[in-house]
Each structure stands twice: as C-alpha cells, then as structure tokens.
Structure 1
Amino acid sequence: MIDKNEHSGRRNFIKSSSGILAGLAASSVAPDLFGSDHNKPQYSIPLGVYAGYNKAHFLKESGCTYIEESVSGFLLPADGDQQYEKNLQQLKSENFPIKSYVILLPGSLKTLGPDANHEAILQRTELVLKRAKECGSQYIVFGSGASRVIPEGFDRAVAKSQHIDLTRKMAPLAEKYGVTIAVEPLNRGETNFINSLSEGVEIVDAVKSPRVKLLCDIYHMLKEDEPATEIVKYGKHIVHCHIAEKESRTPPGVKGDDFRAYLGALKKINYKGGLSIECFVYNDFDKEAKKGIEVLKQQLSEV
C-alpha cells in the first residue's frame, strides 16, 4: 500500500518538475538545451586581399585563404617570361593560392570605339588564361575601365556591340583553359560603360558561356548607390566579389563602413565564392589589411 504522504509528495514533485520545464522552455536557456539557431555555424566565405605575391605568407598568417594578384604583376610581368617562371616557382614554393587576377587590359588596348583592337586583346587574353591555368587560378577579372570608355560622340549601341563581340570571342578561350572571366561593373568615375550589376548581366547574358560570369564589387556598388538587393536579384551570375570602403577605397575598418546589408545579401544567395579586399593605397599595409580581414569576419558573423 502506498502511504498518502508519499503519494502527495510524488504529485507535488511532478507539478514542481512540470513548472521548472515550462519555465526553461520559456527562457533563453531552452534553445541551448533543446537545439536552436544558436548552434548553427556562422556564415563565412573565403577572404582574400589584392596584393603582390610577396605578401602571401603574411596574408596566410592573417587569416586569408587566398591572395588576388594583377595580370601585369604576376602573369605578364614587365621583365618577361623569365620573371613569370620565377613567379610560378614562388607560387609552388609558398603554396598559397592565387584565386584571381585583376586588370586584364591596359588602357591602351581598347575594347570599343574607333581604336578597338580585338586581335591584340585576344592574343593577350589567351596567354593570360593559359598562365592562370598553370597557376591553378580560377578567375580573370574583366574590369579594365580605361579600355572600355566610350569616346564622346561615339554611338553607344555600336560600342556595346563591339564589347559583346569581343567577350564572345574570349569565351571559347576561357572554356579551353577552364578559367572563368568575371565581368566587373565599375563606377562612373572610372568608366562610362557597364556601371551596374544589371549592365554586367547584359554582357553575360549576351555571351552565354559557362566561363563568362559576373563580379560583384561592393565598393563600386556603394559609389553608384546600388542597393544590396541587386546582389539577390542577380545572384545566380555572381562568381567573385571585391570590397572596399566607399569614401577613399580604404580597407574595411579604416573609416568604419558597415557592409552588413551587402554581406547579408551574399548570405541570402548562399554565395560561397571569394571576397577580396581590393585597395590600391595603404598607409600601413600590414596593419590595415589584417584589420580589414578581422572586420569582415566580424561583420559576416553578424548577418
């Protein structure tokens, strides 16, 4: 026989336990006990910095997963083929990947206008793609704003047709070497053609190649007041990204720009490509580049 006092005690214990569990479920402790969004991994993407390859070891130690170089600095150096071979050996020795290369064309090689020189551009592009493949790289950035300025008085439709025709001729070369050409929209302070993601997509759609895609540069988007929602709209085309602060193209953390809206848009499209800090002037490269990576990691963790 069960003693009445014992039965009453058990009943009170059950009530008490139920109350405790209910309280836990309603409190902030409950998600951690039963599993919640707090346990999901934070959003992160590969981060890199545009720099000379002599900074590779430093950037690796600073939390980068790759470096971004320039075409003329690494693939087509001024000192010629012998210097390129030295660069290639350094890459193999350091074993820190170069994901992409900027500045495909010098301003003297015009993609459009009366002085367009497609033959010379295609010769240069094929060698660049061949060497990028040798280096195990993924992308050649096709920005080159000075080469695609539409001259005053020149028919805009004709200029656009010229540029598309050239890019269509580049596409089979990119497919041959397995390296993607990333079309980069630039702000109107640098060129008067392809100034937004939508205009970049027009080129990509016209070419219709799996090796001609879109680059999203958050610095240029900020300069053009282009909203982060455009990243979501054109996300399926984006394969690579650049970033810098709006006012003076400084690394994240110098002026304190908040990039969360744009980083959140990248998260929304489940972007997994690289995000490179692309700046051309530093007061203290080591200090500012390292801080830039830290700031990006922090802001990425908060979107």
Structure 2
Amino acid sequence: MKPYDDPASRRKFLKTTAGALTGLAAYPALAAAGFTNPGNPMYSISLGVFASYDHARYLRELGCTYIEESVGGFLLPKDGEAKFGQNLQELHNLKFPIWSYVILLPGELKTLGPDANHEAILNRTELALKRAKECGSSYIVFGSGASRIIPDGYDRNKAKAQHIEVCRKMAPLAEKYGVTIAIEPLNRGETNFINSLAEGVEIVEAVRSPRVQLLCDIYHMLKEDESPKEIVKYGKYIVHCHIAEKQSRTPPGVMGDDFRPYLKALKQISYKGGLSIECFKYNDFDKEIKTGIEVLRKQISEV
C-alpha cells in the first residue's frame, strides 16, 4: 500500500518527510545568494518559473532556485487525495522546492457580487494552505481575476467590502499554517478590480495581517502602463514577483522587452524575494525558458 492510500500510513509518511520538506521552505532564501548583485549585497533575487512540477529537474539544471506551481494542479488536483499524495512524494524525492502557487480560486467561486460564496472559498483556501505547509512552501498567490470581476451595475464599494471581508477571513488561516497569501493586481483585460499595486495595497492595509501581503507582477504593470516608481512606493508590502513580456505574455528574450527599469526599482527596495517567469503558452518550453533565465540574469546584473 502506498503512503497516500491509507490515512494512518499517510500521517506516518508526512511525519518522516516533515524535516526535509521544512528545509525546502527556507531553501530559496539561502540559494538566492547565487543571484546577489555585488554592487548591493541586500539585493538578491531568486529566479523561478511557473510550470508543472514535471519540469522541475530541467529548471534545476538551468540554475533556477525554485518552481512555482498551481493550486489546482499540485495542491488540489482533480484526482483528489491520492494524486496529492503522489505529488508530495515526487516533491520529497526530488527535493526541488515549490516556493509558491498561483490560481487560488476557480472563476466560478466568486469573492464578490450577488453570487459570492465565502464559505466554499474559505474551505478551499484552508485545504490549500494546509497542503502548502506540508510541501514546505511559502506563498499562495491570490490573483484569480475571474472570481473577483464586479458585475455590471453592481455597487463597487459593496463589492470591495465583500472582497476585503473574505480576505480578512483568510488571514487567520494563513497565520495558522504559516503560509503567506500574496494579493496580485491584474490588468484590466483580465478583471475590473484590483488593477494596480496601489489598489492591492488597499486590500492589504484593510486586512492588517502579516500573512496577507502584495505580489508585484511586472507583466500586469506593463499592460497597465504602471510606473516602476510604484514598486518603490509600495515596496514594504511586496513579498513575491512575477514577470513576462508585455505583448503576448512571453518569457524574457522572445520579444526583447527591457525590464531593467522595474528590476532597478526592486534593487532600490533591496528586494530579496522570488521572481517567477509566469507564462501560459510556449512554442518551445525548454528553449524559451533557458533564454528567459539567461536574459533575466543579464538584466539583473546590469541594474
């Protein structure tokens, strides 16, 4: 019988792997020293990629510090408990850390509007946080643009209050499991609510929890023509970052985007977190990601 097929055996399995997985949680911060800018030792960025864990070995070969997975793909797979057990076993075997997870909520679970379902959201969130802790992970990204679209004609202030309410209810769960929820502003092509770092900070400040902080996504900032100065202004809230090229959300190096103004802003705030290439389509994953990592390293070194 496999460790994930029986609850008692799974508890024993988790106990024996807890030490190794706890070590993974601290690994990115330690490994980030490899990307430290000599001109500013406080500026060290850990490079990672959003991808299926199937790509973990290759990304480690490229010198990535970590991989970023999805909540539905790794923590809450459609095949249920048994599949999560398999994922956890693979993570334990490979020991390449998953630092964070994206897509906390599916579009049908609404945080606001007449169909808001906070009970279902909190049940899903708690299970995701619990399993993220088991994996030794640090963050769950709360973007989920489709879940927070304000319906036409719906009062915007009421919608904002609903969203803040559910985030406030998430906060004690995040504190309980020691995993930080990173609020992600998205461009207006994906949602009509929380489209800037400033709007993200409004939610963070309303919740007032050390486990609810801000994600800086340079792709969305580019789409919204948001200045790098906003990173400096709100830097104290930023715990994690995403990046992709503006036109088609391609990895760095495909279109040749210059990210240095944004990377310079991260340097100004002495950012020491992760920077994940987050794309959803590739013509050639291995080739484009290899180039993307090389381009990012070069641009980081130049700021």
**Distance in 1 (alpha carbons) for counterparts of 2:227 and 2:130:** 36
Structure 1 residues 38, 131: closer, same or farther in 2, change over 3 A? closer
The letter for the 1-side match of 2:77 is P
Q: Give per-residue Cα distances to partners, 1:70-110, cap 9 Å, x unaligned.
A: 00000001111000000000000000000000000000000
The letter for the 2-side match of 1:59 is L
Question: Would the aligned equivalents of 2:42 and 2:271 in 1 still touch at CA under 8 Å?
Answer: no
**Distance in 2 (alpha carbons) for counterparts of 1:286 and 1:72:** 23
The aligned residue for residue 86 of structure 2 is 86
1:38 positional shift: 7.9
The aligned residue for residue 97 of structure 2 is 97
The aligned residue for residue 299 of structure 1 is 299
1:42 positional shift: 10
1:211 matched to 2:208? no
Number of residues of Structure 1 aligned to a counterpart in Structure 2: 267
Structure 1 residues 43, 201: closer, same or farther in 2, change over 3 A? closer
Q: Give per-residue Cα distances to partners, 1:121-164, cap 9 Å, x unaligned.
A: 00000000000000000000000000000000000000000000
**Distance in 2 (alpha carbons) for counterparts of 1:188 and 1:39:** 37
Question: Would the aligned equivalents of 1:42 and 1:301 in 2 still touch at CA under 8 Å?
Answer: no
The aligned residue for residue 56 of structure 2 is 56
Question: Would the aligned equivalents of 1:43 and 1:301 in 2 still touch at CA under 8 Å?
Answer: no
Structure 1 residues 121, 79: closer, same or farther in 2, change over 3 A? same
**Distance in 2 (alpha carbons) for counterparts of 1:153 and 1:98:** 40
Q: Secondary structure at the match of 2:256?
A: coil
Question: Would the aligned equivalents of 2:216 and 2:238 in 1 still touch at CA under 8 Å?
Answer: yes
Structure 1 residues 40, 76: closer, same or farther in 2, change over 3 A? closer
1:290 positional shift: 1.0
The aligned residue for residue 11 of structure 1 is none
The aligned residue for residue 289 of structure 1 is 289
Structure 1 residues 242, 54: closer, same or farther in 2, change over 3 A? same
Matches within 5 A, 1:21-32: none
Q: Give per-residue Cα distances to partners, 1:192-227, cap 9 Å, x unaligned.
A: 000000000000000000000000000000000000
The letter for the 2-side match of 1:151 is P
Matches within 5 A, 1:185-224: 185-224=185-224
The aligned residue for residue 115 of structure 1 is 115
The letter for the 1-side match of 2:114 is P
Matches within 5 A, 1:3-18: none
The aligned residue for residue 246 of structure 2 is 246
The letter for the 2-side match of 1:193 is F
Q: Secondary structure at the match of 1:206?
A: helix
Q: Secondary structure at the match of 2:194?
A: coil
The letter for the 2-side match of 1:222 is L
The aligned residue for residue 25 of structure 1 is none
Structure 1 residues 229, 71: closer, same or farther in 2, change over 3 A? same
| Identity fraction in percent | 77
1:264 matched to 2:264? yes
The aligned residue for residue 163 of structure 1 is 163
The aligned residue for residue 77 of structure 1 is 77
Question: Would the aligned equivalents of 2:44 and 2:273 in 1 still touch at CA under 8 Å?
Answer: no
Question: Would the aligned equivalents of 2:196 and 2:221 in 1 still touch at CA under 8 Å?
Answer: yes
Q: Secondary structure at the match of 1:60?
A: helix
**Distance in 2 (alpha carbons) for counterparts of 1:229 and 1:147:** 29
Q: Secondary structure at the match of 1:270?
A: coil
**Distance in 1 (alpha carbons) for counterparts of 2:226 and 2:293:** 23
**Distance in 1 (alpha carbons) for counterparts of 2:145 and 2:40:** 41
Structure 1 residues 39, 144: closer, same or farther in 2, change over 3 A? closer
**Distance in 1 (alpha carbons) for counterparts of 2:167 and 2:214:** 13
**Distance in 2 (alpha carbons) for counterparts of 1:49 and 1:39:** 25
Question: Would the aligned equivalents of 1:44 and 1:301 in 2 still touch at CA under 8 Å?
Answer: no
Structure 1 residue runs of 5 or longer lacking an equivalent are 1-36
The letter for the 1-side match of 2:68 is E
Q: Normalized against structure 1, the TM-score is what?
A: 0.87
The letter for the 2-side match of 1:102 is V
Question: Would the aligned equivalents of 1:43 and 1:300 in 2 still touch at CA under 8 Å?
Answer: no
1:232 matched to 2:232? yes
Q: Normalized against structure 2, the TM-score is what?
A: 0.87
The aligned residue for residue 21 of structure 1 is none
The letter for the 2-side match of 1:73 is G
The letter for the 2-side match of 1:266 is L
The aligned residue for residue 174 of structure 1 is 174
Structure 2 residue runs of 5 or longer lacking an equivalent are 1-36
**Distance in 2 (alpha carbons) for counterparts of 1:43 and 1:131:** 30
1:41 positional shift: 6.1
